[in-house]
Amino acid sequence: MGGVMSSLAEARTRAAISKDTPKDSSVPARLPAKFIACDMRVEAETTVKNALGHYNFPLKTITNNNLEGVREADIILLSCKPQGFKAILGEEGMKDALKGKLLISILAGVTSEQIEGFLYPGGNKPADACRIVRVMPNTASFVRESMSVIQTCTPPLEENHLKLVTWIFNQIGRTASLPASNMDACTALCGSGPAFFALVMEAAADGAVAMGIPRAEANLMAAQTMRGTTGLVLNGEHPSILREKVSTPGGCTIGGLMVLEEGTVRGHVARAVREATVVASQLGQGAVNVNGPRR
């Protein structure tokens, strides 16, 4: 989806907070209460409604009129292809529509400086310029398990904006903050990561199928085993210790691990993250054939 906008309204939930309940200081004073989805194709309206229609908030879809969506919104979530932001933000009237608003970009490889430089060339930034924040979420946001990295801004975001961005992305998983220089690696690890881990999971299931386990059970077993492993690590277990604990001396785990090490799995997985980092860094530069062979 190209541009997704949500407008703010006074948080209805605040009314429900009793006098005795301590206020959660991480919750912004105003929360998003309405969602506007903008796309270029009318078919996208059905996709959006099917994906989001069951949630209990007002949802509006707009086709081929990003300007209307931006005018109506307080927060703009830019989610077109990396190279597509100039067409959207360069539209006549867009700069005015963005005045004083928060523009969140999840575009891979596009820096905040690039967006800012496009909107306000030559550093001609008015006092009411929109505030741009770069965030890298991932597809697990669909099941509220995203790992989203919010880029730290210079100068820092004002407290309300920071609370708001953090709150939004905390609704769809976990958040972390890192500087601009780390965002391409975050894109590779968090943005692309689900695809990498899915490949490993599929390979593990294939192995089990080869040894006679039915496909459906193998997929379930691989997915739940991966989930359990992530649960242990998120609970504080170090991956190396976890691996040692499972490796009964003379047992089957160490036998399997030896095969993985022979196959240089670590090197290849790490290299995939390094490769995706380099590719991500080129996505916003107008480069072509970014995935061409490098050697």
Ligand X SMILES: NC(=O)C1=CN([C@@H]2O[C@H](COP(=O)(O)OP(=O)(O)OC[C@H]3O[C@@H](n4cnc5c(N)ncnc54)[C@H](OP(=O)(O)O)[C@@H]3O)[C@@H](O)[C@H]2O)C=CC1
User: Measuring CA to CA, how many Å separate 271 from each of 189, 266, 268, 291?
Assistant: 11, 8, 5, 14
Answer for which of 6, 79, 111, 151 binds ligand X (CB under 6 A) is: 79
Q: Is 191 in the site for ligand X (CB under 6 A)?
A: yes
Q: Is 52 in the site for ligand X (CB under 6 A)?
A: no
Of 80-88, 93-101, 154-162, 232-240, the segment contacting ligand X by CB under 6 A is 80-88
Residue 107 contact among ligand A1CAB, ligand X, none, beta carbon within 5 to 8 Å by kind: ligand X
Answer for which of 78, 191, 204, 284 binds ligand A1CAB (CB under 6 A) is: 191
Q: Is 165 in the site for ligand X (CB under 6 A)?
A: no
Residue 224, token pair as written in the block: 């739940």
Please list every residue from 76 through 135 that binds ligand A1CAB, using CB under 6 A: 108
Residue 130, token pair as written in the block: 């929109």
Rounded CA-CA distance 91/200 in Å is: 43
DSSP state of 141: G
Answer for which of 192, 219, 277, 281 binds ligand A1CAB (CB under 6 A) is: 192
Beta strand 131-136 pairing with 146-151: antiparallel
Residue 86's contacts (CB-CB under 8 Å, 6 or more residues apart) are 118
When the beta carbons of 81 and 238 are compared against ligand A1CAB, the nearer one is: 81
Q: Which one, of 105, 166, 111, lies nearest residue 136 by Cα? A: 105
Residue 148: phi and psi, rounded to 5, are -110, 130
Q: Is 152 in the site for ligand X (CB under 6 A)?
A: no
Answer for which of 10, 14, 29, 41 binds ligand X (CB under 6 A) is: 41
Binding mask 85-104 for ligand X (x = CB under 6 A): --xx----------------
138 known ligand binder: no
Identify whether the C-beta of residue 132 lies closer than 8 Å to the C-beta of residue 105.
Answer: yes
Q: Is 81 in the site for ligand X (CB under 6 A)?
A: yes
Identify whether the C-beta of residue 161 lies closer than 8 Å to the C-beta of residue 130.
Answer: no
Percent of residues in the chain assigned helix, strand, coil, to nearest 5: 50, 15, 35
Contact set with ligand A1CAB (CB under 6 A):
108, 187, 191-192
Binding site listing: 66
Return binding residues for NADPH: 66
Residues that bind ligand X (CB under 6 A): 1-3, 38-41, 44, 66, 79-82, 84, 87-88, 106-108, 136-139, 191
